[in-house]
Amino acid sequence: MAIPERFSNLPDYAFPRLRKLLSGIEPGGEPVVMTIGEPRHAMPGFVAQVMADHIAEFAKYPVNEGTPGLLSAISGWLSRRYGLDVASDRIMALNGTREGLFNAALALCPEQKNGQRPAILMPNPFYQVYAVAAAAVQADPIYVPATEATGDLPDYAALPADLLDRTAIAYICSPANPQGAVADRDYLERLILLAEKHDFLIFSDECYSEIYRDTPPPGALVVATEMGQADRVVIFNSLSKRSNLPGLRSGFAAGSAANIAQIRKLRSFAGAPLSLPAQRVSEAAWRDEEHVAASLAQYQEKYAIADRVLGNVPGYRGPQGGFFLWLPVEDGEAAAVKLWTEAGIQVLPGAYLSRDVGGQNPGAGFVRVALVGPADETETALTRLKAVIYDKNE
């Protein structure tokens, strides 16, 4: 049986491509992996005890949409963080936000928009699940440059009106992966007005919302609510980055009651709900802020290290949020091979997070570097990186 063309045409995922690129090459130093966004800060100290207290609940089928306690904890966090009053029926617990970002398109993207094949907008570079979601619903993926010229965020308003009229969904990520740009309130207001004018939904990926340089990033749902347009936005967040619990696979989506009802309905047939012990841990994590503040302080320390080590590199832009550096190089693949060969540092070529549009790949001249390790390891690795990539070119 032939593989459906919409999936066979997808490029390989970023990390298999990287393994192939570096296959057979010995590292030129003690290996330091700075590719994957897997937090290495300490997880909250209460996790093991909460899991142990509820271990017997592995014997029960879990609640699909989230236990009342978990939904209440998420609602409480939205209130503390954004001043939002979001009832439980407007929240859906997720088995990681990647699941939600994908399944929400299945649940909410129409088969046609204004009598035409729908379009799904996404930044370029971007988190790759956006493109797979578009393929799954047979929508046209529209890769919109998110480069320095546009503030590292996509300028959807610059697209032709006829394209916007058949747009069903626009993905946005703030703080952005990989560039670390933050969509401020003005940007979000303009995007929400655009969505209202052309009748499309905004899927706001906010997984890095609790990792920032100075000021907590605004949330799309609170801006939309203040504008009377809450039904235009679905937000996605998780405990992976906020609480250093990527293996828990716990997140949520929140939006209007109607949109969340559609996502819940799909998931009741085709989803994989969190186990009850995992939901109990998640509830405790969303209720606690002490561990979040401690982790944020570590990231802010690493921002300062990156600024100090790389601040005089031409084109260096320290991230406003998130934990990635988006570093300019002549060629991302060549830089990744050079760093691995000469320094044992593993980074991700930027082209692996982007798509060619008009013969140009906006990530080709970058590498993504994850600041997930301890501060001392990060400073040593960035110093070695600078010596290999930048100092020799001066």
Look at residues 382, 388, 391, 389 and name the one whose alpha carbon lies nearest to residue 32. 382
Q: Residue 119 above 80 pLDDT?
A: yes
pLDDT digits (tens, 9 = 90+) for 279-311: 999 999 999 999 999 999 999 999 999 999 999
Domain ranges of the chain: 5-42+291-393, 47-288
* Closest of 323, 336, 283 to residue 178, by C-alpha: 323
Q: Which pLDDT band, with edges at 50, 70 and 90, does 392 fall under?
A: low
80, 108, 116, 130: which is closest to 201 by C-alpha? 108
Taking the CB of residue 246, how many other CB atoms lie within 10 A of it?
Answer: 19
pLDDT of residue 15: 81
pLDDT at 271 over 80: no
Position 125 scores a pLDDT of 95
At 223 the pLDDT is 98
pLDDT-derived band of residue 313, with 50, 70 and 90 as boundaries?
very high
Q: What is the pLDDT of residue 4?
A: 72
Residue 170 is encoded by which pair of tokens?
A: 């626009």
Taking the model in full, what pTM does it have? 0.95
Q: Tell me the pLDDT band of 327, cut-offs 50, 70 and 90.
A: very high
> CA-CA distance, 9 to 124, in Å (whole number)?
18
**According to the model, what pLDDT value does residue 13 have?**
78
pLDDT in tens, 129-158: 999 999 999 999 999 999 999 999 999 999
Q: What integer is the mean pLDDT of 187-215?
A: 98
The single-letter code of the amino acid at 249 is: R
Architecture of domain 5-42+291-393: Alpha-Beta Complex (3.90)
Mean pLDDT calculated for residue range 214-224: 97
DSSP label at 388? Answer: I
Main-chain phi, psi angles of 294, to 5 degrees: -65, -40
* Count of residues making up the chain: 394
Cα–Cα distance for residue pair 335/121, rounded to 1 Å: 30
Domain 47-288's class?
Answer: alpha beta
Residue 143 near residue 362 (C-beta atoms within 8 A): no
